[in-house]
Copies of this chain bind each other. A is one copy, B any other.
Amino acid sequence: MSGPQVDPASLQHRPAPEPDATDPATPWSAGIRRTADGALALAGHDLPALAETHGTPVYLLDADDVRARARAYVEAFNAAFADLAGADVYYAGKAFLSVAVARWVHAEGMSIDVASGVELATALRAGVPAQRLALHGNNKSDAELTEAVTAGVGRVVIDSLAEIERLADLAAAHGRRVPVMVRVTTGVHAGGHDFIATAHEDQKFGLSLRDGAAREAVRRILARPELELRGLHSHIGSQIMDLAGFGVAAKALLRLRAEVADSDGVLMPELDLGGGYGISYIGEQAPPRPQEVAGALATAVNDACAELGTPVPHISVEPGRSVIGPAGLTVYRVGTVKPVTLDDGGQRLYVSVDGGMSDNIRTALYEADYTAALANRRSQAPIVASRVVGMHCESGDIVVRDVGLPSDVRPGDLLAVPATGAYGRAMASNYNMLPRPGVLAVTEEEVRFIVRPETPADVMALDLG
């Protein structure tokens, strides 16, 4: 960590950490460096040059970092579950999916989770075999289920009792047998450094363990020969730093699996423990590494199976954010810079950029923390409490709520906001009719848009006058 000494309790004065690939808490992608002349560079390409050529705002994606993170999860889980001939690691496409991303993660050994017809179509267009795809969703349409069945996806994750008959009937109509998992709500909710376990779930997903719905789903699936019951699935939360909750959820699922084996004589071969592994957004804390995640899950599963006296199942997991999030960043150009006097007498520098809540809704939506750094030069000016805001006609249009920036930040400067690879472009809007930025994939050898920037004409094309 670098930067002047400031009140560590005050995020308002905390500058972005300098890129440092050896820092386990870095929010920057592996390929980001500060060059000798003070600019940031990605895989050797200076950000000012990229911004000049490709415009701002722009999402940059460190393609090698995406692939390295995908590979790290695959290797870690294969190692941790080597006794079981490895594990399956699904990329959770909702974080950000494009044809190129699907190709990369598949090439590194990942399967892919999709949650809509277009996500499914995108993965197929990328050449990922349908067998390596899983279809998720609490409200899959008949069209989506039909597409999944006819494509022959590797599994459909059942989310309600009604879906069982619908899917079985569709499978029958198409003469297919469809592998399914049952999404079970275990009452375990994790996020950050803690988890809770409640008796019941107050959310839309899954089938409850406690009220018997999960057990009933298993019974109904076993009654339909068109469905192949692969196993049980749970997803316990997002941005998880403390892995302990996974063990609690795994044990609950394994107990149900053992009960089904006892009563129905069917030992489900697989257990999916979902994803939700946290990442570093502001550099304050090292997130769990793939080896740690895989190790913790292997220990939890092995211990629970030993305790229950039940065979260890094949394991699958679903990282999304932790693969794509840290590999992305957004580059903005600074426009208006405005010091604002606060009621306590202090000042806050409002630094407006040429994007905002349309390209990153997470700050406003989840009160998510981000950081930002000067990307075109180094500055020795004092660090001042700053807020990076967008250009939208709304006071809640905030990109980075609290960050220390050099007091000489000025119009024309570039700001880089790290860790925007997940849920950035994926949730972008055309608010205020702003064209959405493109996603520029960068490696040493190649710089190219994998999702092209929208133009004003694109935005206006849907308007029928």
CB of B432 within 8 A of CB of A429, answer: no
CB of A450 within 8 A of CB of B431, answer: no
Count this chain's copies in the assembly. Answer: 2
Flag the segment in A78-86, A93-101, A168-176 that touches B: A93-101
Instruction: Say whether A121 faces chain B, with CB atoms less than 8 Å apart.
Output: yes
Given contacts A341-B200, A427-B431, A451-B463, contact A94 B393 (CB under 8 A): yes
Instruction: Say whether A340 faces chain B, with CB atoms less than 8 Å apart.
Output: yes
- Which residue, of A119, A433, A458, A464, has the highest number of chain B Cβ atoms within 10 A? A433
Instruction: Say whether A261 faces chain B, with CB atoms less than 8 Å apart.
Output: no
Instruction: Say whether A381 faces chain B, with CB atoms less than 8 Å apart.
Output: no
Q: Which residue from B139, B365, B432 sits with its C-beta under 8 Å from A336?
A: B139
CB of B389 within 8 A of CB of A204, answer: yes
CB under 8 Å from chain B, chain A span 382-397: 387, 389-395, 397
Which residues does chain B contribute within 8 Å of A116, judged by CB atoms? 391, 432-434
CB under 8 Å from chain B, chain A span 403-435: 411, 426-435
CB under 8 Å from chain B, chain A span 309-366: 335-338, 340-343, 348, 350, 352-354, 361, 364-365
CB of B435 within 8 A of CB of A431, answer: no
Which residues does chain B contribute within 8 Å of A98, judged by CB atoms? 463
CB of B435 within 8 A of CB of A464, answer: no
A238 to chain B, nearest CB (A): 8
Encoded as 1 (CB less than 8 Å from any B CB) or 0, chain A from 120 to 139 comes to: 01100100000000001111
Taking A200-B342, A208-B341, A458-B462 as known contacts, 17 extra A-B pairs with beta carbons closer than 8 A to each other, sorted by chain A number, are A94-B393, A94-B394, A97-B433, A116-B391, A116-B434, A117-B456, A118-B432, A138-B389, A139-B390, A140-B391, A201-B340, A204-B340, A365-B365, A426-B431, A428-B430, A450-B465, A451-B464
Q: List 8 contacting pairs A-B, 8 Å CB cutoff, sorted by A.
A: A118-B459, A139-B335, A202-B348, A204-B340, A426-B430, A426-B431, A449-B464, A454-B462
